[in-house]
Amino acid sequence: MPNRRILRMGVFAACLPLAIGWGILRAEERTGFPQQARDRYEQGQDLQKKGLLDDAIRAYDEAIRIGMKDYPRVHLYRANSNLDLKKYDVAIEQYTKFLDKFSLEESCRY
């Protein structure tokens, strides 16, 4: 059984120095995406914080479907939710796709 912290640390540790150096993680960087998709993404974040992980995953899936497929964090947070649900195979598959789809620079920019 994979260790959740190790999986998360591997992805986030690679991005942390760039995130700090670039001063990223600002909401305005998401403005290039459709409003409805951004709303679903933000709803997913709220649901995830409340522990409503299945609902968060559905919100992230919809955000991806309606316009945020090129926003790395939506994929990452969806994988994190699956990991928290102990859906290890799904989470590993999503982390792998995340790393394959987005370069290190691209995935850390947001």
Task: Give the pLDDT score at 64.
Answer: 97
Q: Contact 108/24 with Cβ under 8 angstroms?
A: yes
Whole-model pTM over 0.75:
no
Can you tell me whether residue 33 is helix, strand or coil?
coil
Task: Give the pLDDT score at 102.
Answer: 85
Distance of alpha carbon 18 from alpha carbon 4, whole angstroms = 22
* CB neighbours of residue 105 within 10 Å: 10
pLDDT digits (tens, 9 = 90+) for 23-59: 444 444 556 899 999 999 999 999 999 999 999 999 9
Name residues whose C-beta falls within 8 Å of residue 62's C-beta, 6 or more positions apart in sequence: 37, 40
Can you tell me whether residue 2 is helix, strand or coil?
coil
**63 phi and psi angles, rounded to 5 deg:** -60, -40
- Domains located in the chain, CATH noted: 4-109 (1.25.40.10)
CA-closest candidate to residue 97, choices 107, 87, 105:
107
Predicted confidence band of residue 8 (pLDDT cuts 50, 70, 90): low
